[in-house]
Structure 1
């Protein structure tokens, strides 16, 4: 369905040359090829530290291969509305340390807010786009997989601070978010100690407690509460009372936004994909702990601070490598695959398999954190 047809069995094949435009799938562009291959680059969904580093990696490799890269502005919205601009090696210089995305993003989606491929067809054809590289979270990658099913070649790069996308050991942005939360815990510990308070820190994490667990360990939290592990608020209160009775009259509690409370899941509306927007679980936990212990409890919800700012060195390198690998997969003519990390090695997996279920926090990580919890 894209600007180049597939084999009848849906495959492209190593070194395949498009019959209509003679695109050299599987190798760099060379003199004598009829048409310069064109790749659309989309950053969709929530922003995430490291996205610009990934953009830089994709563009650098494809530009070196002689392929054209068209940046799509404002995510799927730009692809639906025809907002694009060319990207070259020169245009992505100096962006590796910048937060956000130079292309912008949005919460629009061609399948939620449009008619799938038909919603983006005019832009794809006008820009001469032969394939897409989509940098996005699970929702954006599911839409990318649907576009691949309709015939447009797509390679995905997972992007989320939550670290909860299946098929990969880690996503860029997670390390930066953990560092931001850890820095906050370090600062909040001093004020909690000064005023003999319980300080409840709420982190992002809809279904997975990776950020809460890692930052809680790094920051020395007395209690960590995550969506994957049931908790008893009265047991937590008892642990904190025992800690205070022993002379340690302050406590740091880290909770993920997706934990259930006595009021169920705490929400503040519906997002663009139809999911409930989470937030406020920390406040509920703080009020309950204050009621049960009699100690003053305060809440700090870090929210979008975890998304913003410059990525750590680790995330800059990881995102760069993922961008380069996505470009290699594109040069090979692969489609409906997502870049994945296995240990320190880059590989690829089927997009839909990766996005079918969120990747939960590994139980052993929580068990390791629990060794440092306040004791009743």
Structure 2
């Protein structure tokens, strides 16, 4: 069976559906090698603690994780360890504390599950601290370069599509324009995919500039054709009419994307085009039971990541390409940002269906 190893697994960045199936897959595959898996709590914050916050993951406890949303290990998307915010307002490099935690646990390798930002940080820690690192891509935004699929995207897209399915009926009942604002950070993957699958009439994504006058003209055209209601999907990174990013500030003072749906609603109402309502899905897209596809992708990624460790292949990330799991260098995966191709299949499909993209 070979030398017994101890490997760590952590989830970093924003949560999403499919993380628990990844953890389950890592543990079950490692068990076939006779290895022990430690789950690191709260991402790198768990390694920063003294002693490190880690739990031995028992294969016998893994089955309920297949359908569980979120991450049993917890996660964080705050606090860059190389410039960590301290209580006095200063920034401190705490990378050595995290590196020490890895070695204190006696790990032979680490599997990091995260998006491009998390992967960049984990890779820097690994290089500095002599870690054996393997990555698994996860993000509802589906914007990690190279891979066609990231864990979490399918569930988020399904939730947005279901919202559209429901909004059709209330929009039709009141002859309204309903705007659905979805997440996606700087990419429009959720918006364009859900817009097609959910039968939206207008989809606005950050990759394609839009004209509000043309959007209003399209709404009027639909009214003149006897189409009494319209559904608009807008990605959160779509800018204002004036070209500025629209953001909201939370109770903790953090500024994040959000509010473009309400901005569009006000602009359309000001032009007296239609009665509008806005639905903002927000973190609903991150929660819930993972879709079968996210369970499948997460399981395949977990097995492949453990197999990379067995083969002694590190500084690599597993990806989904042409219906196969293929590993690539982490630096190559995060070097290429994957937004929506304005000339790609999804955009061509949307246009072919008569969905208006704002330009």
Same fold, TM exceeding 0.5? Answer: yes
Q: Is structure 2 residue 179 aligned with structure 1 residue 206?
A: no
Instruction: Extract structure 1 runs of 4+ deviating beyond 6 A.
Output: none
Query: Are the aligned partners of 1:241 and 1:293 in contact in 2 as well (CA < 8 Å)?
Result: no
Residue 266 (structure 1) shift: 0.7
Residue 241 (structure 1) shift: 0.5
Residue 291 (structure 1) shift: 1.8
Query: Are the aligned partners of 1:164 and 1:360 in contact in 2 as well (CA < 8 Å)?
Result: yes
Alignment of 1:127-146 (within 5 A): 127-146=105-124
Cα distance in structure 2, aligned partners of 1:269 and 1:38:
42
How many aligned positions are there?
343
Map of 1:369 onto structure 2: 350
Q: CA RMSD in A?
A: 2.1
Query: Are the aligned partners of 1:54 and 1:323 in contact in 2 as well (CA < 8 Å)?
Result: yes
Map of 2:72 onto structure 1: 102
Query: Are the aligned partners of 2:11 and 2:114 in contact in 1 as well (CA < 8 Å)?
Result: yes
Query: Are the aligned partners of 1:58 and 1:327 in contact in 2 as well (CA < 8 Å)?
Result: yes
Query: Are the aligned partners of 1:198 and 1:252 in contact in 2 as well (CA < 8 Å)?
Result: yes
Query: Are the aligned partners of 1:156 and 1:339 in contact in 2 as well (CA < 8 Å)?
Result: yes
1:64 to 9, 32, 51: 32
User: SS at 2:66's partner residue?
Assistant: coil
Query: Are the aligned partners of 1:158 and 1:339 in contact in 2 as well (CA < 8 Å)?
Result: yes
- Report Cα offsets for 1:51-81 as digits up to 9, x if no partner: 1111111111112101111110111111111
Map of 1:85 onto structure 2: 55
Map of 1:48 onto structure 2: 16
Map of 2:215 onto structure 1: 236
Cα distance in structure 2, aligned partners of 1:47 and 1:328:
25
- TM-score by length of structure 1 reads 0.87
User: SS at 1:96's partner residue?
Assistant: helix
Residue 41 (structure 1) shift: 0.7
Query: Are the aligned partners of 2:351 and 2:357 in contact in 1 as well (CA < 8 Å)?
Result: no
Cα distance in structure 2, aligned partners of 1:275 and 1:340:
32
- Report Cα offsets for 1:200-234 as digits up to 9, x if no partner: 00011121111000100011111000011111111
Query: Are the aligned partners of 2:210 and 2:357 in contact in 1 as well (CA < 8 Å)?
Result: no
Alignment of 1:113-128 (within 5 A): 113=84, 115=93, 117-128=95-106
Cα distance in structure 2, aligned partners of 1:29 and 1:338:
23
Cα distance in structure 2, aligned partners of 1:44 and 1:240:
42
Gaps of 5+ in 1: 1-27, 31-35
- TM-score by length of structure 2 reads 0.91
Cα distance in structure 2, aligned partners of 1:351 and 1:374:
37
Residue 374 (structure 1) shift: 5.5
Query: Are the aligned partners of 1:208 and 1:227 in contact in 2 as well (CA < 8 Å)?
Result: yes
